[in-house]
């Protein structure tokens, strides 16, 4: 459809403008009123996901917006003004501004860390109001529980590069032991605040240098969650080795990139990360220490530790 429309530039550009500046903002407003179909169709998990909210009687994204307002001290008016200036969180315009924070600032660890600190509020808005991550992992949970022969509430999990930590919050709400790791900035402060607001007390690993990965306990975790992580770190191979050490024998790594590095450069997608991730050495280590578990087409983000 897009290919045919491009033959008619005026029509294509008009449709593109309407989609970006009309449809997506309206879609965002709708999420504040009612839960999205993708959430409601998760029948098995819907009530559990709703239980992660502070106010489960309201729409998920309205509850998330209230969290933003409370933590950052924002009003509806100030958020609207921000969205009018930079776009709504679910729009390409908003994402493009996020990328701008990292322009010419990924050359050193100090510059990269400062870029993350400066973008923390914008990044948090994107993570909280642009989408939710719960349904990225729920299709795998019955399998991992059955395979490890233990209920999810007995799991020990690490949400690494957690962002707003939707997935960690889900596991905490189920009663699991949860650890969080991310760069020590306001975004990570917000993630930790989300847990304490619900009475949860996760283990915390603060990362103060993007190049230095925290020392993780050996053979500790049943599941390590790495959602959009490897392309953001200077040395993904070193991080993968860290994960292999921290996982219990037979434990699982949830890698949202499915072990691949099909990412474009730009923003906080680091050139050296993508170079290492596409190397033979990275692939060989992955294959030697993990077995790829594909539940079905499109559900290919699980890797079982084998060595």
Q: Note the pLDDT tens digit of each residue in 210-264.
A: 888 999 999 999 999 999 999 999 999 999 999 999 999 999 999 999 999 887 7
Full residue range of the structural domain in which residue 6 is found: 2-130
Question: How far, CA to CA in Å, does 234 sit from each of 160, 246, 250?
Answer: 15, 20, 27
The pTM is what?
A: 0.90
Query: How many domains is the chain built from?
Result: 2
Instruction: Show which of 93, 109, 130 is a domain's final residue.
Output: 130
Q: Where a domain ends, among 79, 105, 130? A: 130
Cβ burial, residue 41 (10 Å; 0-12/13-18/19+): exposed
Query: In the beta sheet, which residues pair with residue 252?
Result: 223, 304
The CATH number assigned to the domain holding 140 equals 3.40.50.150
Query: Is residue 220 domain-shared with residue 253, that is, in the same domain?
Result: yes
Mean per-residue pLDDT pooled into runs of 10, the chain (307 residues): 55 50 62 69 76 93 96 96 93 94 90 95 96 90 97 98 97 97 97 98 95 93 97 95 98 95 83 92 97 95 94
Residues 148 and 84 grouped into a single domain = no
| The pLDDT of residue 11 | 45
Quick check: 180 and 203 in contact, CB under 8 A?
yes
- Same-domain check for residues 167 and 188: yes
Q: 24 and 109: one domain?
A: yes
């Amino acid at each position: 459809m897009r290919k045919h429309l491009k033959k008619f530039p005026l029509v294509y550009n008009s449709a593109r403008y309407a989609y970006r500046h009309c449809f997506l903002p309206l879609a965002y407003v709708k999420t504040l009123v009612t839960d999205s179909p993708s959430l409601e169709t998760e029948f098995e998990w819907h009530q559990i996901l709703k239980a992660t909210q502070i106010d489960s009687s309201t729409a998920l994204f309205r509850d998330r917006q209230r969290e933003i307002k409370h933590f950052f001290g924002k009003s509806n008016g100030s958020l609207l003004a921000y969205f009018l200036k930079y776009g709504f969180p679910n729009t390409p315009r908003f994402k493009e501004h996020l990328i701008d924070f990292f322009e010419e600032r990924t050359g050193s660890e100090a510059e990269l860390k400062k870029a993350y600190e400066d973008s923390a509020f914008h990044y948090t808005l994107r993570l909280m109001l642009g989408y939710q991550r719960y349904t990225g992992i729920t299709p795998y949970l019955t399998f991992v529980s059955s395979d490890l022969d233990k209920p999810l509430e007995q799991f020990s999990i690490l949400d690494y590069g957690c962002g707003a930590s939707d997935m960690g919050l889900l596991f905490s709400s189920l009663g699991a032991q949860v650890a969080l790791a991310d760069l020590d900035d306001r975004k990570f402060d917000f993630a930790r605040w989300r847990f304490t607001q619900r009475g949860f007390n996760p283990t915390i690993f603060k990362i103060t240098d993007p190049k230095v990965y925290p020392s993780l306990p050996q053979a500790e975790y049943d599941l390590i969650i790495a959602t959009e992580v490897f392309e953001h770190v200077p040395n993904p191979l070193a991080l993968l080795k860290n994960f292999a050490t921290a996982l219990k024998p037979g434990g699982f790594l949830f890698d949202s990139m499915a072990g691949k590095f099909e990412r474009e450069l730009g923003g906080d997608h680091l050139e050296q990360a993508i170079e290492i991730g596409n190397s033979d050495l990275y692939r060989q280590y992955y294959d030697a220490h993990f077995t790829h578990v594909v539940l079905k087409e499109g559900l290919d983000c699980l890797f079982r530790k084998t060595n």
